[in-house]
Structure 1
Amino acid sequence: MVHGQHSRIPALALVADAVAVVVFAALGRLSHDEPGDLVGLLGTAAPFLVGLAAAWATPWVRARPLDLRSGGLALAGTAVLGLLLRAAFTGRLPASFAIVASVSLAVLFLGWRAIALLVSRRRDREMR
């Protein structure tokens, strides 16, 4: 891999995680017939984006952004802090929402990393 491409991986991984959070928020709003406006979408995603920023502040996630363990750490920070902030904003945190949010974010965060890992391994085999 060319050095320039390698140096872009953390930024691209952060963008992929942020897109995952926005997709999660958009799907949640859609499933509850919430308006599709940008302000509402960002308001829904905001607590989880703050959690994502906190998770990405850890050296482990930044150093190994494609690693599934890093994905798990990014997921944990995003979900836990996002749920706590959302509860602080709304005054409630239904257990059903916490479960659905955690599972949905897990599928999105770990899913893209698993696909990237499979593609990378396949490419490595083809280059040999």
Structure 2
Amino acid sequence: MHSSPAPQPAPTRQAVLPWLLLVLDGLLVVGFAALGNRSHESGLALLDVMGTAAPFLLGLLVSSLAVRFWRGPSRLWPDAVVVILGTVALGMTVRVLSGGGGTEWSFILVALGVLGVLLAGRRLVTGRLLTPRRENLAG
């Protein structure tokens, strides 16, 4: 007789949610790149935006994996701080190494500020929305 493998259980919400939040972080990084391209008239075509976003997306992925994002995808300290700093530092490094542009101090500061607000803000919002509310059982 030939036995078939046991069916795999469907992924639970808890298993999928961190990955969805990582995708949301990626979309925020792409939005940051689109805003930057628009401000500097660098082009808003998909390839233009993705060319700007790619180094930062790589930085986001590496930093998120480093903090094991799946354990606490909405954690601010230290995870969000590491992810924000890593996204910007690795993104700037990849930009320079790939010939994609310079890293003027003004750009570094803007990237830190904008990505800091976006990525920390996402964690604040999703942390509030996804944390079960504790009812006061004594009253």
Q: TM-score of the superposition, structure 1-length normalised?
A: 0.86
Give 1:109 shift: 0.3
**Percent identity (aligned):** 34
- Give the counterpart letter for 1:79 in structure 2: V
Q: Give the AA of the match of 2:14.
A: H
| Change in 2 beyond 3 A, CA 1:26/1:126 | farther
- Superposed CA RMSD in Å reads 2.0
Question: Of the two, which has the highest radius of gyration?
Answer: 2
Over 3 Å counting, the alpha-carbon distance change for 1:120 and 1:126 in structure 2 is farther
Aligned length: 125
Q: What's the counterpart of residue 105 of structure 2?
A: 95
The residue number in structure 2 matching 1:78 is 87
Deviations 1:97-118 (A, max 9, x none): 0000111000110001101122
Alpha-carbon distance change, 116 to 37 in structure 1, aligned in 2, over 3 angstroms: same
Instruction: From the two aligned structures, give the one with the greater helix fraction.
Output: 1
Q: Is residue 9 of structure 2 the alignment partner of residue 5 of structure 1?
A: no
CA contact (8 A) 2:28 2:118 kept: yes
Q: Distance in 2 between matches of 1:6 and 1:103?
A: 30
Aligned counterpart for 2:121 among listed residues 111, 119, 123: 111
Distance in 2 separating the partners of 1:82 and 1:61: 18
Gap regions ≥5 residues in structure 2: 1-10
Alignment of 1:23-102 (within 5 A): 23-69=31-77, 70-88=79-97, 89-90=99-100, 92-102=102-112
Q: Is the 8 A contact 2:74 2:126 kept in 1?
A: yes
Separation in structure 2 between the aligned mates of residue 93 and residue 119 of structure 1, nearest angstrom: 36
- Structure 1 runs (4+) greater than 4 angstroms displaced: none
Distance 2:101 2:39 in 1: 21
Aligned CA distance change for structure 1 residues 44 and 127 (closer, same or farther; 3 Å) = farther
Counterpart Cα distance in 2 of 1:6 and 1:22: 25
Whether contact under 8 Å (1:61, 1:73) holds in the other structure is no
SS in 1 for 2:41: coil
